[in-house]
């Protein structure tokens, strides 16, 4: 089973101050022990790097890159997927739904991924199975 990994889970994994850190670490350890196939897209990676760097500093991005990214398959968003994500964002017309979320939905649907490691309820709203 492939699992998509969202920014909220990655941030919680790196930030010991995050309310979801413990759960995120436990879930991540379970995934790596079971050798789960974990996927992200490049938009999630950019968002996560930006968030970590601005809130926690550059060292946290080094941790992400060296200790977590090697376990992730990165799906690269191309023009067609970007356009579909933009369309989804405009169609949804929801202020708190991000382009990165919409791009993630598109990636998951295109790759046939039904499960996501996230703390963001937007994925559940889209019909995906959410872990934890």
Q: Which two tokens stand for residue 29?
A: 């350890």
For residue 71, the enclosing domain spans 2-131
Contact assessment for residue 105 and residue 113, using Cβ atoms and an 8 Å cutoff: no
**Cα Rg for the chain, rounded, in angstroms?**
14
Contact assessment for residue 3 and residue 117, using Cβ atoms and an 8 Å cutoff: yes
Domain CATH number, residue 50: 3.40.50.1010
Reading the chain (132 residues) residue by residue, the pLDDT tens digits are 899 999 999 999 999 999 999 999 999 999 999 999 999 999 999 999 999 999 999 999 999 999 999 999 999 999 999 999 999 999 998 888 999 999 999 999 999 999 999 999 999 999 999 999
Q: Which two tokens stand for residue 43?
A: 């938009």
Q: Output the pTM of the full model.
A: 0.95
Q: What per-residue confidence (pLDDT) applies to 57?
A: 97
Distance CA 63, CA 16 (A): 12
Q: What per-residue confidence (pLDDT) applies to 93?
A: 85
Number of folded domains that form the chain:
1
Q: What per-residue confidence (pLDDT) applies to 94?
A: 82
């Amino acid at each position: 089973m492939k699992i998509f990994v969202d920014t909220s889970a990655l941030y919680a994994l790196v930030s010991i101050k995050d309310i979801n850190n413990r759960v995120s670490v436990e879930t991540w350890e379970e995934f790596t022990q079971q050798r789960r196939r974990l996927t992200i897209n490049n938009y999630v990676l950019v968002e996560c790097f930006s968030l970590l760097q601005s809130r926690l500093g550059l060292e946290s991005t080094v941790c992400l890159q060296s200790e977590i990214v090697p376990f992730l398959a990165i799906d690269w968003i191309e023009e067609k997927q970007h356009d579909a994500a933009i369309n989804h964002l405009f169609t949804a017309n929801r202020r708190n739904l991000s382009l990165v979320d919409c791009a993630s939905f598109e990636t998951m649907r295109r790759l046939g991924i039904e499960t996501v490691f996230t703390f963001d309820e937007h994925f559940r709203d889209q019909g995906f199975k959410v872990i934890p």
